[in-house]
Amino acid sequence: MSKNVVIMLVVILWAAAAMYAQSNEAIDRILAADAVDYGKVAYLVLVASDNIAEDAGESRSFEMLKELKWVDPGVAETDPVSLSEYAYFLMKAFGLRGGLMYSLVPGKRYAYRELVSRKVIQGRADPADRVTGDRAIRVLGRILDLVGD
């Protein structure tokens, strides 16, 4: 087993441990997704950042995301999330400070750049990419590592 696979497994396990309160079923659904949607991402990010209770569910989490005005009003819960939008939710939910441009113009563009710069987003990536469930969990694991949770 290569070193990278071991590291990946440790990160996934750590992320899973940090989110121990989340429903196993929800995590399974996220991991199985080829492209995570706003509902799944809202639940994952808001629960992991202690912004919502674990039993809130995807719909309630998505509503909270809208109330916080982190998403465009026109999007639906089942719409797929782009990698740059996911980066923005993570930056907001965990209260991460970005670079100069993120401070001046906070948004998904500079959130994505920030997480690439901090090596939270790794490998072949494009801001418009859809996010697989597996990638969403791994990126969240690195965020938890970064914030020392």
Partner 1 sequence: MKRIALTLLCAGFAAAAFAADFGLVFDNVSSYAYSGEGTFFQKDRATLWLSMPVSAAFDFYGSLRTDYRYPDASSPFGQSAFSVDVGRLEFKGSLPMGSGSPLALTAGRFLLADDGTRLLSGRMDGATLSYFLPGMSIDGMVGYMGLLPKEDAKVLVSVDDIADYEDADLYFAAPRVVATARVRFTELFARHDLSVTLVGQFDLRSLAEADPDEIVHSQYLALSLKGPIARLLYHEAYADLGTGERTSGFALMGAAGYALKFFMPEVAQLKLAFSADYATGSSGVFAPFVPISQRQVGFAFNAPLGNNLIFGLDASMKPVSVLTFGLKGNAFLRASTQKLEDPDFSDGSKELYLGVEADAYAYLDIASDVSLSLSGGAFVPNAGGTYVSGSPVRYIASGTATLSF
Please state the closest distance from residue 73 (CB atom) to partner 1, in A: 21
Which window, 22-30, 35-43, 57-65, 93-101, contacts partner 1 (CB under 8 A)?
Answer: 93-101
Which window, 25-33, 43-51, 62-70, 118-126, contacts partner 1 (CB under 8 A)?
Answer: 118-126
Among 4, 69, 95, 100, binds partner 1 (CB under 8 A): 100
In the DSSP assignment, the letter for residue 23 is -
Query: Cα-atom radius of gyration of the chain, to the nearest Å?
Result: 14
Q: Are 37 and 81 in contact (CB under 8 A)?
A: yes
Q: Are 112 and 87 in contact (CB under 8 A)?
A: yes
Helices (H), the chain: 3-18, 24-32, 38-48, 57-67, 83-93, 100-104, 108-117, 133-147
- Site for partner 1 contains 108 (CB under 8 A): no
- Site for partner 1 contains 114 (CB under 8 A): yes
Return residues touching partner 1 (CB under 8 A). 98-103, 110, 112-114, 117-118, 124, 126-129
